[in-house]
Amino acid sequence: MRSPTRTRSDMKTNEKVTRILIVDRDRPDAALIDCAASIIRRGGLVAFPTETVYGLGANASDPRAVAAIFEAKGRPSYNPLIVHVSDLEMAWSCVSNPPAVFERLAPRFWPGPLTLVASRSDRIAANVSAGLATVAVRMPANAVARALVEHSGVPIAAPSANRSNRVSPTTAEHVLKDLNGLIDAVLDGGPCALGVESTVLDLTGSIPAILRPGPISAQAIEAELGFAIRDFEPLDSSREQAFKKSDHQEQLIDVGRGDIAMKSPGTSAVHYAPRTRATRIEAERIGSIEWTGRVGLLVLGDHPIDLLLERTDRREVPAVRIDLRDPVAAAEAFYRTLHEFDELALDEIVIVLPPDRREWLAVRDRASRAARPYQIKT
């Protein structure tokens, strides 16, 4: 059995001792939650599970604590954080003059994987939102996460608990690979149920717009509101792409100091990337791959990959292959699979993108940001 605390013997003198607090996902022990909450209240950093991925939390009202998140992750200051709340009353305290759609969507989809962007109140430190006047707020469905926020008594700012741009963590072990010795504690509540980050919906414009796709679809939101919203515009999977500004869905905002502030986390062109070199390819081009070195193949979607490979005259095959055919199962396993590939000393990971259909939107988005386009040799 794992010990609830752990210290690395090879830890540098300037590193923290990261405590591991093992809790039941559905009925977390109050004493352990109180221990983690006391760290939050005194300005420390605690990683905790949500239903999506593990978050790295700090007091969202304390700018020094928030700054420590950016330092531990190596995260650029222009990339905002999501604020987690335990109830609707706390949510209202985080936003200023919430629009009617906020008040309609929050009770319907919370607790759950929907993040709402609205005007930021003075309760939230400015560096949470990269200095912008907006704030991204959600109420997680995971009992451990909500208990931590409730016992802390403050909103908790929390990006994913990993080094910046790396693969998001869905277990406590993933967190420790990146952040052991850099944060105060990890609440280990077991694997995350959903496996991909929340949907982010911007409510600050005249038409609500999805800035990041996730488990809550545009169709579900439209069914609740009774009118159309602006759905997410996917990346072009065939090439590198900078983000576009538009009148309706402005994802990047010039904040006047040489940086670009984002309204939503998880929207940079390269994100969620494994340490191993990773490339992406559409299924119909699989026959163009040259299997040199130790290659891990991740197939997303029910593609006829075997038939396509049989049509080539190459005898080489990938060293490791994993198929994730169902969109729900693929979402839950996507990051875990990338973590597994990183442990196998591969030369390259090739990700076959899933079909360009609505049910695959979130997974396709994460895969497109985790890997660069495969360059066909001519």
Asked whether residue 38 is domain-assigned, the answer is yes
pLDDT of residue 2: 43
The CA distance from 110 to 83, in Å, is 14
Q: Are residues 217 and 289 in the same domain?
A: no
Asked whether residue 271 is domain-assigned, the answer is no
Q: What is the pLDDT of residues 221-235, one digit of tens each?
A: 999 999 999 999 886
User: What count of residues does the chain have?
Assistant: 378
For residue 100, give the H/E element and its range: helix 100-109
pLDDT of residue 267: 55
Asked whether residue 64 is domain-assigned, the answer is yes
pLDDT of residue 242: 41
Domain tally, the chain: 2
Q: Are residues 178 and 306 in the same domain?
A: no
Q: Are residues 2 and 101 in the same domain?
A: yes
Q: Which residue has the higher pLDDT, 310 or 328?
A: 328
Q: Where among 240, 265, 290 does a domain terminate?
A: 265
Q: How far is CA 103 from CA 107, 249, 298, in A?
A: 7, 21, 41
Instruction: Give 170: exposed, middle or buried? Use CB within 10 Å, 0-12, 13-18, 19+.
Output: buried
For residue 116, give the H/E element and its range: strand 114-119
If you average pLDDT over residues 352-369, what whole number do you get?
Answer: 95
For residue 70, give the H/E element and its range: helix 63-73
Q: What's the token pair of residue 363?
A: 């997974």
Query: With pLDDT > 90 as the criterion, what percentage of the chain qualifies?
Result: 76
pLDDT of residue 29: 97
Q: How far is CA 353 from CA 67, 282, 286, 341, in A?
A: 36, 5, 10, 17
Q: Are residues 298 and 337 in the same domain?
A: yes
Q: Are residues 149 and 247 in the same domain?
A: yes
pLDDT of residue 306: 79
If you average pLDDT over residues 110-122, what whole number do you get?
Answer: 98
Note whether 250 and 263 are within 8 A (CB).
yes
If you average pLDDT over residues 157-182, what whole number do you get?
Answer: 97
Q: Are residues 93 and 218 in the same domain?
A: yes
If you average pLDDT over residues 96-102, what whole number do you get?
Answer: 95
Asked whether residue 202 is domain-assigned, the answer is yes
pLDDT at 352 over 90: yes
pLDDT of residue 75: 93
CA atoms within 13 A on the CB side of 285: 17
Q: Where among 216, 233, 265 does a domain terminate?
A: 265
If pLDDT is split at 50, 70 and 90, which confidence band does 300 have? very high
Q: Are residues 228 and 175 in the same domain?
A: yes
If pLDDT is split at 50, 70 and 90, which confidence band does 181 have? very high
pLDDT of residue 318: 86
Asked whether residue 270 is domain-assigned, the answer is no
The amino acid occupying position 346 is: L
The domain that contains 346 carries what CATH number? 3.40.50.11030
pLDDT of residue 376: 67
Asked whether residue 273 is domain-assigned, the answer is no
Q: Are residues 147 and 236 in the same domain?
A: yes
Q: Are residues 236 and 324 in the same domain?
A: no
Q: Are residues 85 and 140 in the same domain?
A: yes
Asked whether residue 291 is domain-assigned, the answer is yes
pTM of the model: 0.88
Q: Which residue has the higher pLDDT, 8 or 263?
A: 263
Expressed as residue numbers, the domain containing 179 is: 1-265
Q: Are residues 348 and 300 in the same domain?
A: yes
Q: Where among 230, 265, 300 does a domain terminate?
A: 265
Q: Report the mean per-residue pLDDT for the chain.
A: 88
The domain that contains 125 carries what CATH number? 3.90.870.10
Q: Are residues 100 and 229 in the same domain?
A: yes
The CA distance from 350 to 373, in Å, is 10
If pLDDT is split at 50, 70 and 90, which confidence band does 13 have? very low
Asked whether residue 113 is domain-assigned, the answer is yes
